[in-house]
Amino acid sequence: MTENEIGEALAAAVHGDRDAFAHLVREHQAMVFSVAYHFLHDASKAEDLAQETFLHLYRNLASIESPAHLVYWLRRVATHRSIDESRRRLRRSGTISLDAVAEPSSQDRPRDPFLSEALEKLVATLPEPQRAVVVLRYQEDMEPTEIAEVLGVPVNTVKSRLHRGLEFLRKKMPGPARRASV
Of the residues 85, 102, 119, the one at which a domain ends: 102
Do residues 67 and 114 share a domain? no
Instruction: Looking at the structure, tell me whether residues 48 and 93 fall in a common domain.
Output: yes
Same domain, 1 and 27: yes
Domain, as residue range, for 16: 1-102
pLDDT in tens, the chain (182 residues): 788 899 999 999 999 999 999 999 999 999 999 999 988 888 999 999 999 999 999 999 999 999 999 999 999 999 999 888 888 877 766 554 545 444 444 444 555 565 677 778 888 888 888 988 998 888 888 899 989 988 889 999 999 999 999 998 888 876 655 545 44
Domain count, the chain: 2
CATH number of domain containing 114: 1.10.10.10
Q: Based on the fold, state whether residues 143 and 156 are members of the same structural domain.
A: yes
- Asked if residues 39 and 82 have their Cβ atoms less than 8 Å apart, the reply is yes
Give 49-56's long-range contacts (Cβ < 8 A, gap of 24+). Answer: 49/78, 49/81, 49/82, 49/85, 50/78, 52/81, 53/77, 53/78, 53/81, 54/25, 54/29
- 21 with 97, same domain: the answer is yes
Find how far residue 116's CA is from the centre of its chain.
18
